[in-house]
Structure 1
Amino acid sequence: MSEPLVLVPGLNCTRALFGPQIAAFEGARPVLVANHTRDDTIPEIARRLLADAPPRFGLLGLSMGGYVALEVMRQAPGRVARLALLDTSARPDTDESKANRERLIALAGTDRFAEVADILWQRYVAPHRQNDAALARIVMGMQRETGPQTFARQQRAIMGRVDSRPDLPGIEIPTLVLVGEDDVITPPEHAREIAEAIEWASLVVVPGCGHLSTLESPGIVNEAIGAWLAAGA
């Protein structure tokens, strides 16, 4: 059986974020989903992932999961056989983003977490998917399962992340960088910045897709992941 694959979900997301990928790839390899709900900082989440993970593995993170994946590369690069960074950024949080996160944390703390979920939904998916009831059920279900306390913990961890751009040229393993064309949270320019800095990186821009590429465009994403898993095998 091929090397294990560790998946790291994004903010307010669960293993359901990777439902199509787990279904597609777990027959050929062990597929694990990291726990990113219990720790207060990105480095702590990365340490928990490393403690739970097999000795060597492929690593795929989306959004917040990408921040964690880049931290894993700082802490234990020799354990990662290949890296996939989906709809994420190597940049630190801006002051504007931090202020927006604080507003959402405050709103979630006043028993208005459902409103937070609605706000995020508008930014998570491409405009033409806003009325997709099936997709909304999955996304809203993940947010309900996460809950306001974990949401606040994850937001503060994201706010405290470091600038990963200086570390990118040192990544020398097969790397997939993928982003939705219509991602407004971590737009394509952030993905291009990552891909241009990593010599072994390939860039995939998914047309008509927003921030939750694994759910919005699973066919294209799975094809890209399959090629990445085969690279250097």
Structure 2
Amino acid sequence: MGRTVDADGAHLWVEQRGVGPDVLLVAGLAFAGHDTLDRLGGIGAPTLVLAGELDLATPPRLGRAVADGIPGAVFEMLPGEAHQPFQEVPEVFNARVGAFWREEARDEGAAARHR
């Protein structure tokens, strides 16, 4: 199922992209300093937040915080998955996203019938 990036995998990623540790440090610091949780309440679109259970870059607790800040958002953790379930298990990811939108369409249709 899921895959985590080990040290060898991280080094390979860096080598393939030609970036050095300094670039990763700057990106990491920018990522760590970015906080817009206070703006999430303004999102009005249906929202599904999926998190990989084994994601080391953005742990599920961060996904939960995002979902908690968006009115009506749905949070789900994908067991055994890491940072990129859309690539690691695309069939699982796509099935869940598709089901979310079908549920939203059904709910919207029911709401329209009751107006």
TM-score by length of 2: 0.65
- Give 1:156's aligned amino acid: V
Superposition deviation, residue 193 in structure 1: 1.0
Q: Tell me whether 1:176 sits opposite 2:14 in the alignment.
A: no
- Give 1:170's aligned amino acid: G
CA separation of 1:196/1:143 partners in 2, compared to 1, >3 Å: closer, same or farther?
Answer: farther
Pick from 148, 169, 173 the counterpart of residue 19 of structure 2.
148
- Give 1:204's aligned amino acid: E
Counterparts of 1:1-233 in structure 2, within 5 Å, are 121-122=5-6, 140=12, 144=16, 146-148=17-19, 152=23, 156-161=26-31, 162-230=34-102, 231-232=104-105
Superposition deviation, residue 172 in structure 1: 0.8
Higher relative contact order, chain-length normalized (CA < 8 Å, sep 6+)? 2
Supply the distance in 2 between the matched residues of 1:199 and 1:142 (Cα, whole angstroms).
Answer: 38
Aligned length: 97
Superposition deviation, residue 160 in structure 1: 2.7
Supply the distance in 2 between the matched residues of 1:196 and 1:174 (Cα, whole angstroms).
Answer: 13
Percent identity over the alignment is: 30
**RMSD after superposition:** 3.1
- Give 1:121's aligned amino acid: V
Residue number in structure 2 paired with 1:61 = none
Supply the distance in 2 between the matched residues of 1:142 and 1:225 (Cα, whole angstroms).
Answer: 30
Supply the distance in 1 between the matched residues of 2:5 and 2:49 (Cα, whole angstroms).
Answer: 23
CA separation of 1:177/1:143 partners in 2, compared to 1, >3 Å: closer, same or farther?
Answer: farther
- Give 1:186's aligned amino acid: T
CA separation of 1:185/1:205 partners in 2, compared to 1, >3 Å: closer, same or farther?
Answer: same
CA contact (8 A) 1:181 1:206 kept: yes
Supply the distance in 2 between the matched residues of 1:148 and 1:142 (Cα, whole angstroms).
Answer: 5
- Give 2:77's aligned amino acid: V
Supply the distance in 2 between the matched residues of 1:176 and 1:209 (Cα, whole angstroms).
Answer: 17
Supply the distance in 1 between the matched residues of 2:27 and 2:51 (Cα, whole angstroms).
Answer: 22
SS of the residue corresponding to residue 168 of structure 1 reads helix
Superposition deviation, residue 229 in structure 1: 4.4
